[in-house]
Amino acid sequence: MDATRGQQWLEKFLTLAGMPATVAVDVDKVETEGSCWLTVDAASLSPLQIESLIGEGGKALDATQYLANTILNLSCEPDERQAFTLELDNYRVRRQAELQRLADEAAAHVRETGDEFEIKSLSSAERRQVHTLFQDLDDLETESRGKEPDRRLVVRQKQES
């Protein structure tokens, strides 16, 4: 998929929302993150606009990202689909650092006590990120439990196979 299509869609979306801004494309993230990053230039936005676009706990940014991925991949064959990640004001970078700290805390707790550690209030995308952080560990595993909106990620000692 042409990454500029995502850039054009997001710039038009922002203009229609009354918050025109330019969008930079980072296709290199496809290699490292598995997603093409569309970064909104916050320079032309007010602090209130930035806050509105990110939303409480990143919910507005997640919703816009979901909308972008759904619309941009609607008529594409499965092997032609492109994942897009929307970034604004380094929110995703800061949140990734928070998730890493939370994962480290959970790992330390489980290793020290042997008890499960439950992480609440994560979006489905954040749960996937945390699952990925644990996938290469030999001694710990993760699982999602519950139903939305009360779905939780659980970290525990790896079960013997």
Residue 94's pLDDT is: 95
pLDDT tens figures, 127-145: 988 999 999 999 999 999 9
pLDDT tens figures, 42-61: 999 999 999 999 999 999 99
pTM of the model: 0.81
> What is the set of domains in the chain, with CATH numbers?
3-89 (3.30.300), 95-157 (3.30.1370.50)
> Own/partner pairs for 33-36, CB < 8 Å, 24+ apart?
33/85, 34/83, 35/83, 35/84, 35/85, 36/3, 36/6, 36/82, 36/83, 36/84, 36/85
Tell me how far CA of residue 46 lies from CA of 114, 130, 142, in angstroms.
47, 32, 39
- Which residue intervals of 55-90 are DSSP H helices? 59-73
